[in-house]
Amino acid sequence: MSTSAQRQQIGYMRKLLAIDEDTYREMLSQYNGAESSKDLSTYDANIFLNNLRDKANEAGVFKPKASTKMRQYKYNNLGWRSGMATPAQLRKIEAMWFDVSYAKTDEARAQGLDIICKKITGKDSLKFIKHNDVSKLIKAITEMQKGR
């Protein structure tokens, strides 16, 4: 089921785009026959919301913000995956790594994190780690912090 925040954002985008009731219901029905935004899964609600944002951006009634506030929400699009690390866990690991890393740029730090992730968990990227891999990475990074 979609979250309250997703439903609010969908309503806001609908208002910005001035979508009438019939068009809105037709758009919703494309997502497994949903009749209201409450019928959408979290995943479908994200997709629907992203589509609405794109349409609003193209229509010039919505301009996405590229601010530092968005950084705290990094990985939120990965929150729907069962058995995988949560967005908060991914952000925590990344923050811990950025404190330990000697790399000069964000890109180099991210590449270093992918290397460590591959070495410890066998996964190519932080985005692919499972819930049980989180403690392994946190433990490894904590050991690196002690060694500094």
Mean local confidence (pLDDT), 39-62: 87
| Per-residue pLDDT at 68 exceeds 70 | no
Q: What was the pLDDT predicted at 67?
A: 47
Q: What was the pLDDT predicted at 148?
A: 64
Residue 40 · residue 34 · CB < 8 Å: yes
Residues 110 and 83: their CA atoms lie apart, in Å, by 23
User: Which residue matches tokens 């992918």?
Assistant: 114
- 53 sits in which H/E element: helix 42-59
Q: What was the pLDDT predicted at 21?
A: 95
Q: What was the pLDDT predicted at 69?
A: 43
- Classify the C-alpha dihedral 13-17-22-26 as positive or negative: negative
What is this structure's pTM?
0.51
Centroid of chain to Cα 91: 10
Quote the tokens at residue 13. 């985008």
Mean local confidence (pLDDT), 100-105: 86
The 3-state DSSP class for residue 75 equals coil
Report which residue type is found at 33. G
Residues 64 and 127: their CA atoms lie apart, in Å, by 24
Mean local confidence (pLDDT), 123-127: 91
